[in-house]
A and B are shown apart, each in its own frame.
Chain A
């Protein structure tokens, strides 16, 4: 009963503080939308490739431009000859994903068997740049392969029966190249990537942002709820509470449950937002979602109590709260998938409880797995929570 009174008092205090609504409600929603939009797949998924054909009408160059135009991954933007100067700037500005310059003499060099490189302007440090590079590379290799096939055929034929003249030889070369390219076009081989998911919905940008921001702001919310704990000690009302029949256990539990409740309500808000507004399927495994929410909230509570136990002043709560948020969010894969992080980072990330929280939520909303898929993530969160609780209770100062 006393515990409930303490919780009610805490919630009243939190609701009185206008910054709670900012930290607990407005910012997480804002961030979810922001990151969701940023990481969402663009509607136009084809990469834009500007092409300047400075090689003129030589057949390999023409075939190359044609092949690039046929590529389902690319949207071609032909450039006039005088536009070559500003391509770097325009790629940098994001106007195109990449720009290709088919250098003069490229066709001739290809026929001679000594191909010269094409010039490509693309950001090697981003995915679109890398994908555009790969697409151009693949198309160019096909053209060069067809040219090489024609050259080989001509060479083997010539030994047995020389061509009548250069024109005849050219006709032969063009013929073989065309046949080769036709074979590529009707390739019997294809590669398909199949996501292994039981979910019927395609993953959206929010599949990363929603659980990620949920984890981040669960910690960020401590700025409000753990501050309460420190303020209570600073104003000595906590010591005063202990002069009443309330026990230390009741006081600690009252505050812990407050943090838990606040975190849980915030999670609930974000899960509902994800489900109803962003079209994520948290409800496909309601039991698993609930279990994971509870586990994450308990872990957050233990972190809050730990911060509350270890720091003295309100501003230190902000420092440690922000530090914990940056640390656990970044390493836990809340901001970007651990997949794209370096080996060391990803390896550390696997040991961070928040990465398990993100993984657990994604088991449901991305992988379409059932309730059982959150058992391991939940167990890990609860295990770390137990450890934090133990340290917090051990180190907790009441005055």
Chain B
């Protein structure tokens, strides 16, 4: 099924979704990107950024107000059947039949993708192995733990060996162990040659998995590139997090006008300061603190990360939104 070319697996061109046009909510506002064969591409953004709407348009659940998505040369608008054959989609919320067994679920969806006979049996067996449910294959899914259901949810998307695997927030609300299992699975699949479109609002996941990351906010892609490229946008800025004996707001007042600080704010009960040369700044910070009787309990100096990129671009923290 897989063909070796260097043409992009997915090419998204100017996707727009406006609900109830012309005055309704503009959920996606001109999103374009492309995914090369073998690439893991993440859409990172806070809840409500438009990630799921974008994905829904790519996999044909929503019709775009404008723009198109082309999968392996097939437009989702004009050749949906062919385009869908090349994609495997694992939706954000688990979508499996609770009253059927894992094997029955896989067989059913396999048939939907045109698999039949021996090929179907073979693929169902392989997928059951891959997702670690081979020994529970005959049990009704309703009895599964939520981690097992998530794995089956992804397994269904793998059946027909798609060119492009679309995973919409696959790790939301599950335990760390299952999460690790899923991330490892994605890495393994990618090594085997599958391209992946991954959405998440966990920057660590995006950072670990992706070749390319697109940061979305308010329906737009506000930055796109490799992790290193994105971080470079913030510049060589260190990221200091200080915990003090007094409330962080008070500490902020004390430090905000110290020379060399480019940005200061309070986050998670800590005072956060950005500075060009963080190490050099520390003595001055302690000095100023001592002068007003402010005790510094802990200091952490961090390199810039995706969080800083998002903050830099939107003025908001990723996890707060």
Contact = CB atoms under 8 A, between A and B. Distances in A.
- In the complex they form, whether A and B have CB atoms below 8 Å apart is answered with yes
Interface of A: 1-2, 5, 9, 12-13, 16-17, 235-237, 239-247, 398-399
Contact of B60 (A5, A12, A237, A243): A243
A243 B97 contact: no
Give me the 7 closest cross-chain CB pairs, A-B, nearest first.
A243-B89, A236-B95, A244-B112, A240-B95, A5-B111, A245-B81, A243-B59
Nearest to A244: B112
Interface string B256-269: 00000000000000
Nearest to A236: B95
Contact of A240 (B80, B91, B100): B91
Interface in B76-107: 80-82, 84-85, 87, 89, 91, 93-100, 104
Nearest to B153: A240
A241 B93 CA distance: 14
Contact of B112 (A12, A16, A239, A241): A241
Nearest to B108: A9
B113 A235 contact: no
B114 interface: yes
B268 to A, nearest CB: 34
A337 B34 CA distance: 68
Contacts of B95: 235-237, 239-240
B109 interface: yes
Given A235-B95, A240-B95, A240-B156, 4 more contacts: A9-B97, A239-B61, A240-B89, A245-B112
B99 A244 contact: no
B100 A13 contact: yes
A124 B33 CA distance: 82
Contact of B91 (A1, A12, A239, A245): A239
A251 to B, nearest CB: 10
A243 B91 contact: yes
Nearest to B96: A237
A2 B80 CA distance: 16
A246 B100 contact: no
A245 B84 CA distance: 5
Contacts of B108: 5, 9
19 contacts: A2-B112, A5-B108, A9-B97, A9-B100, A16-B99, A236-B94, A236-B95, A237-B95, A240-B89, A240-B91, A240-B109, A240-B156, A244-B113, A245-B80, A245-B81, A245-B82, A247-B80, A398-B61, A399-B61
Given A236-B93, A236-B95, A243 B84 contact: yes
B112 A242 contact: no
A77 B84 CA distance: 82
B60 A235 contact: no
A244 B81 CA distance: 8
Contact of A243 (B82, B87, B100, B114): B87
Contact of A13 (B87, B89, B99): B99
B204 to A, nearest CB: 27
B112 A235 contact: no
A236 B94 CA distance: 8
A156 to B, nearest CB: 91
B77 to A, nearest CB: 14
Nearest to B97: A237
Contacts of A239: 61, 91, 95
A330 to B, nearest CB: 33
Contacts of B82: 245
A246 to B, nearest CB: 5
Interface in B41-97: 59-61, 80-82, 84-85, 87, 89, 91, 93-97
Contact of A242 (B60, B85, B114, B156): B60
Contacts of B94: 236
Nearest to A13: B99
B16 to A, nearest CB: 19
B73 to A, nearest CB: 16
Contacts of B91: 236, 239-240, 243
Nearest to B81: A245
A205 B100 CA distance: 42
Contacts of A240: 89, 91, 95, 109, 156
A17 B84 contact: no
A244 B109 contact: yes
B96 A235 contact: yes
Contacts of B104: 9, 12
A235 B84 contact: no
Given A237-B95, A243-B91, A245-B85, A2 B100 contact: no
A247 B97 contact: no
Contacts of A241: 112
A235 B98 contact: yes
Which of B60, B95, B112 has the most chain A CB atoms closer than 10 A to its own CB? B112
Nearest to B113: A244
A235 B97 CA distance: 8
B99 A5 contact: no
Given A240-B89, A240-B91, A245 B99 contact: no
A5 B107 CA distance: 10
A331 to B, nearest CB: 35
